[in-house]
């Protein structure tokens, strides 16, 4: 692997061979599903299949070369991608660019606004529409060596952030002050700042750095932690609470290098924790170990969640797993890449199977009413032999 600085501190253009490989896999799925052409509008999908986020419409036929119809910036798009870039003045030009009006077209119906779908339906009267969301996400789920290299670098970035956490955490500081020091360090290490999620109304800023009883407060985000945040318009993450000695400090931090994310949670404490909190952390580690041991190519995504539930029931913490009673989230892990919520989902009723090259986080959390949250999260790469941990911070409680 190249040095961290070489990857993180350069404006990397995605290699042409990487883009061509992605498009080829996508076109195979389009042909299999009988979709004559894909119209990609979502920013992350457009970047993944072209190498640029410049505004426009990416057209990928089931056969033939893709084209990016670009509104702005055309020149920048041409610098960042090797596929054909054509200036776009009006969406009325899209049907002409496809050389007619194919019968079956694809749009990312899982994410585009209804108004956008209505507009494209008017451009292609009589067309049959298919949802590209599952197809695009399926291609993106299996990471290439290029992508894995950047996720590994993000793991090193997070460890350097945690080195700062060990140095600066002190009694009496507010959560937001602690978080700001870690966020500053991440930016110094070339973190892009923006964390992208595909889910509707889902958003995150670096992660959740929360402490004590506030760490057990849930919120609107589909996640096993919330925190107060700084006001009700955000209602998650670090707030104004003062960190005290002997209470859990949960540092759930998302690293990012070259657009690629890694997710890690570590439990910190000033001094030591009470016995029940120590036990909660050990239980979370045990649950994570059981899931990771079961992860192999061909295993159903949902079976890893079932493994977690079995272990949780054995430990007797089912009412406090992944949230307090009646607020528990129904997953124990999620895929990672350019977005936080990628395939695979380690959740019920997910009958797809794990494939070599998938990258996913496993994040068991135990809630302690009135005291806080204990847990752990690591990101793994699925190999032929099993799951390889990509996060590198020691899997212990960090005492300062």
Q: What is the pLDDT of residue 334?
A: 98
Helix (H, G, I), strand (E, B) or coil at 311: helix
Q: What is the pLDDT of residue 101?
A: 65
Q: What is the pLDDT of residue 92?
A: 94
Q: What is the pLDDT of residues 327-375, one digit of tens each?
A: 999 999 999 999 999 999 999 999 999 999 999 999 999 999 999 999 9
Q: Is the pLDDT of residue 204 over 60?
A: yes
| % of the chain surpassing 90 pLDDT | 97
pTM: 0.96
The more confidently predicted of residues 27 and 101 is: 27
Q: What is the pLDDT of residues 243-299, one digit of tens each?
A: 999 999 999 999 999 999 999 999 999 999 999 999 999 999 999 999 999 999 999
Q: What is the pLDDT of residue 3?
A: 86
Shortest CA distance to 195 belongs to which of 134, 150, 255? 255
pLDDT band at 100 (very low <50, low <70, confident <90, very high): confident
Number of H helices, E strands in the chain: 11, 17
How much is the average pLDDT of 161-183? 98
Q: Is the pLDDT of residue 95 over 60?
A: yes
**What are residue 357's phi and psi, to 5 degrees?**
100, -10
- The neighbouring-strand residues paired with 68 are 58, 85
Q: How high is the mean pLDDT of the chain?
A: 96
Which domains, ranges and CATH numbers included, belong to the chain?
4-140 (3.40.350.10), 142-399 (3.90.230.10)
Is the distance from CB of 207 to CB of 157 less than 8 angstroms? no
Tally of CA atoms within 13 A in the half-sphere of 46 that contains its CB = 23
Q: Is the pLDDT of residue 32 over 90?
A: yes
What DSSP string runs through 125-186? Answer: TT-EEEE-HHHHHHHHHB--HHHHHHHHHHHHHHHHHHHHHHHH--TT-BHHHHHHHHHHHH
Residue 70: both structure tokens together: 């670009």
pLDDT band at 1 (very low <50, low <70, confident <90, very high): low
Residue 114: both structure tokens together: 């209804």
- The neighbouring-strand residues paired with 142 are 358
Is the distance from CB of 84 to CB of 61 less than 8 angstroms? no
């Amino acid at each position: 692997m190249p040095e961290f600085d070489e990857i993180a501190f350069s404006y990397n253009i995605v290699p042409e061979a990487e883009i061509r490989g992605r498009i080829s896999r996508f076109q195979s799925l389009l042909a299999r599903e009988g979709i004559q052409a894909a119209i990609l509008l979502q920013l992350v999908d457009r970047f993944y299949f072209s190498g640029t986020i410049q505004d426009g419409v990416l057209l990928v036929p089931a056969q033939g070369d893709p084209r990016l119809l670009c509104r702005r910036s055309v020149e920048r798009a041409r610098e960042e991608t090797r596929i054909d870039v054509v200036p776009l003045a009006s969406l009325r030009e899209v049907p002409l660019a496809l050389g007619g009006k194919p019968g079956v077209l694809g749009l990312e119906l899982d994410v585009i606004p209804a108004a956008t779908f209505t507009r494209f339906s008017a451009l292609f009267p009589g067309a049959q529409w298919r949802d590209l969301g599952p197809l695009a996400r399926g291609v993106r789920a299996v990471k290439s060596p290029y992508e894995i290299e950047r996720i590994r670098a993000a793991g090193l970035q997070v460890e350097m952030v945690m080195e700062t956490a060990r140095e600066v955490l002190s009694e009496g500081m507010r959560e937001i002050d602690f978080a700001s020091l870690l966020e500053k360090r991440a930016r110094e290490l070339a973190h892009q700042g923006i964390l992208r999620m595909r889910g509707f109304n889902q958003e995150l800023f670096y992660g959740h750095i929360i402490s004590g009883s506030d760490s057990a407060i849930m919120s609107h985000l589909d996640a096993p932690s919330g925190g107060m945040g700084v006001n009700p318009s955000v209602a998650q993450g670090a707030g104004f609470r003062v960190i005290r000695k002997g209470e859990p400090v949960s540092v759930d931090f998302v690293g990012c290098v070259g657009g690629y994310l890694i997710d890690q949670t570590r439990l910190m404490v000033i001094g030591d924790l009470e016995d029940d909190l120590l036990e909660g952390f050990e239980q979370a580690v045990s649950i994570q170990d059981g899931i990771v041991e079961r992860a192999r190519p061909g295993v159903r995504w949902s079976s890893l969640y079932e493994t977690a539930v079995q272990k949780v029931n054995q430990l007797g913490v089912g009412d406090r797993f992944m949230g307090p009673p009646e607020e528990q989230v129904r997953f124990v892990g999620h895929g990672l890449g350019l977005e936080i919520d990628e395939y695979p989902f380690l959740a019920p009723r997910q009958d797809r199977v794990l494939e070599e090259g998938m990258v996913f986080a496993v994040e068991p959390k135990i809630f302690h009413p009135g005291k806080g949250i204990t847990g752990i999260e690591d990101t793994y790469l699925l190999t032929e032999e099993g799951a390889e941990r990509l996060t590198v911070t020691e899997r212990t409680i960090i005492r300062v």
